[in-house]
A and B are shown apart, each in its own frame.
Chain A
């Protein structure tokens, strides 16, 4: 599993289980919001169904769609056989021709899957409203088929990057958890858990270093994923102690930074100063 939560997250997850409410996760990019859902799925040994939101996402890509091509083919084929049209219609709008999209899939499973609705803030407001309705009733009506009720209430995790203000209604529906950048101690443990063959001392050095980089006021603050990449790079280059090899450290540290501006800002002097703070 390898997910190391902050102190309060387990409580939120337990509460989510208890109350059957969705959990809204917010936090800067790269703090591991999506990972929470994955970890949750593996704790409960259930499947993870992911719906990635984007602008213009609509019901037919999120919920269900009829398989039109197959329907047309079926109609053609039956025509040759000469079935009567009422039976044909019943048949064409049956389960066989239904394409399940993530939301429908989630409510039809019986093993209480984890439904991850990723970056809900990217979807439009209309979709959000629709989602709200779905999350309170856990049922969907398909005009041609009738109402489908959830056989088990899925565990819903929503994530948001705050690129748009979410509606109050949605916020109130959900439990809330804000994921911050981890402190040094937790980040050390994360590195140890995720990067193979790394020593405890090196990972603690890396965590301290990254924490200080985050305080430098960069445009794109490195997240945990960047930390892990950097740790893997150092291990790959066979660095045992960051103080031994300031040059390599500086070169690789720049890989944490995703914009030219930030790179320009992190001069060798800055990285030397940051190294100075590492015990």
Chain B
């Protein structure tokens, strides 16, 4: 019964096929495919047709029916072969690509071998230290960066300072305020208005039929406003530890109130975190995020992460009214040429690049890190971001975009 489907005759065999189909679809669903009743109806049609005579053809037919995006398309063949094939039936089927499972698996992988989910670790750690660390020099900072191991983070967890009501509220209020100011942008799509830029001929004539077609009342079209899209790339490497927690909350607020916003986290690699950040509850969002940020001591490969972004995400998340906000100290362990090239590429794509560097707020800081220097020529706004206040200072700039 594991042989290639064969539906000559709507007999017992036919019934078995339909049963098998249902369980195949369940498997697909487990693997993150969006298949519903309509698809199953069509699929039974396919099974009854001559497309079902050859395995390869049937596979192609079901593939095009059940897939709806490239990721589906790529994994379909394996799932199909595993299910209908000579290999063990149910063994190979769970590719673990069901949206949720995939994410968890990815988190686990990123976070290192074993994580105790009970512990709220990671991002929130060291604001407390910020109080007396502020004037430590460059060298000291690097040491800290290298020492950002998992254990240190886990043991030094301190959420108190940041989960302090006031700070959260301030960050949220700020994000909401930024959002309100930035939300509206001009778009080319127009809608009818009583006053506007162009005459809406259609409505004008309709309205003036009663005047025998003499256009007495004019109706207008006006540009519809389109929201600015904000893409945030947050450096979550060891050297940024002191600030990450604040920014994560800030980003959470931004994603909450912007209709269009995307967030990415990077350290040694780039992670798309919009999903985790959309979690309504701040603490749960943070929990999911802290998994992503753990166990990634060592340096940041900003250039490489930007390359990943440019190659795989930029086209989808960036449009002409996008502002890319990079929050990082610019300590790149990769070659500055990569950084230069990728920043140039990025600058060509989006409207504005804002680089927030918490270290500008420090006394005597000059952007001397190699990576930072390479990136500077492509940045539209290079601003400090070490305190809520400095973030608030950004507002007027962003509002003008």
Contacts and interface: CB of A to CB of B under 8 A. Distances in A.
Interface of A: 7-8, 11-12, 14-15, 18-19, 21, 23-24, 26, 55-56, 58, 60, 65-66, 68, 71-72, 75-76, 79, 85, 88-89, 92, 124, 126, 161-165, 168, 171-172, 174-178, 219, 261
A55 B188 contact: yes
A162 B65 contact: no
A27 B45 CA distance: 28
Nearest to A8: B60
B202 A65 contact: yes
16 contacts: A11-B61, A12-B61, A14-B61, A68-B202, A68-B205, A72-B205, A79-B212, A92-B209, A161-B315, A162-B70, A162-B316, A165-B316, A171-B34, A176-B72, A177-B73, A178-B67
Contacts of A21: 42
Contact of B45 (A12, A19, A56): A19
In the A-B complex, the 5 residue pairs with the smallest Cβ-Cβ separation, listed nearest first, are: A75-B213, A56-B188, A171-B68, A11-B60, A8-B60
A261 B319 CA distance: 22
B202 A60 contact: yes
Given A176-B73, A178-B74, 7 more contacts: A12-B64, A15-B51, A55-B188, A55-B189, A56-B188, A75-B213, A172-B39
A268 B39 CA distance: 52
Contacts of A261: 341
B56 A15 contact: no
Contacts of B46: 15, 18
Given A19-B45, A56-B189, A162-B316, A89 B209 contact: yes
A126 B34 contact: no
Nearest to A165: B316
Interface of B: 34, 36, 38-39, 42, 45-46, 49, 51, 56-57, 60-61, 63-65, 67-70, 72-74, 187-190, 201-202, 205, 209, 212-213, 315-316, 319, 341, 345
A75 B68 CA distance: 50
B202 A164 contact: no
Given A18-B49, A72-B213, A176-B67, A56 B316 contact: no
B300 to A, nearest CB: 22
A7 B65 contact: no
A132 to B, nearest CB: 13
B187 A164 contact: no
Contacts of A7: 56, 60
A7 B64 CA distance: 12
Contact of B64 (A161, A164, A175): A175
Contact of A8 (B63, B72, B316): B63
A178 B205 contact: no
Contacts of B201: 68
A24 to B, nearest CB: 8
Contact of A19 (B42, B189, B316, B319): B42
Given A15-B61, A164-B319, A75 B212 contact: yes
A65 B345 CA distance: 41
A14 B51 contact: yes
Nearest to B345: A219
Contacts of B315: 161-163
Contacts of B68: 24, 168, 171-172, 174, 176
Contacts of A175: 64-65
B169 to A, nearest CB: 33
B189 A126 contact: yes
A176 B51 contact: no
A261 B342 CA distance: 12
A7 B59 CA distance: 11
A15 B212 contact: no
A176 B69 contact: yes
Contacts of A172: 34, 36, 38-39, 68
Contacts of A71: 205, 213
A61 B60 CA distance: 36
Given A8-B63, A18-B49, A85 B319 contact: no
Given A15-B46, A19-B45, A72-B205, A178 B70 contact: yes
A179 to B, nearest CB: 10
A215 B315 CA distance: 20
| Candidate in B56, B190, B201, B341 with the most chain A CB atoms within 10 angstroms | B201
A148 B341 CA distance: 54
B228 to A, nearest CB: 15
A234 to B, nearest CB: 30
Contacts of B67: 176, 178
B83 to A, nearest CB: 18
Contacts of A19: 42, 45, 65
A12 B60 contact: yes
A236 to B, nearest CB: 33
Nearest to B39: A172
B64 A11 contact: yes
A66 B209 CA distance: 14
Contacts of B345: 219
A156 to B, nearest CB: 14
A88 B387 CA distance: 70
B45 A92 contact: no
B205 A66 contact: yes
A92 B42 contact: no
A37 to B, nearest CB: 16
Nearest to A71: B205
Contacts of B73: 176-178
Nearest to B223: A56
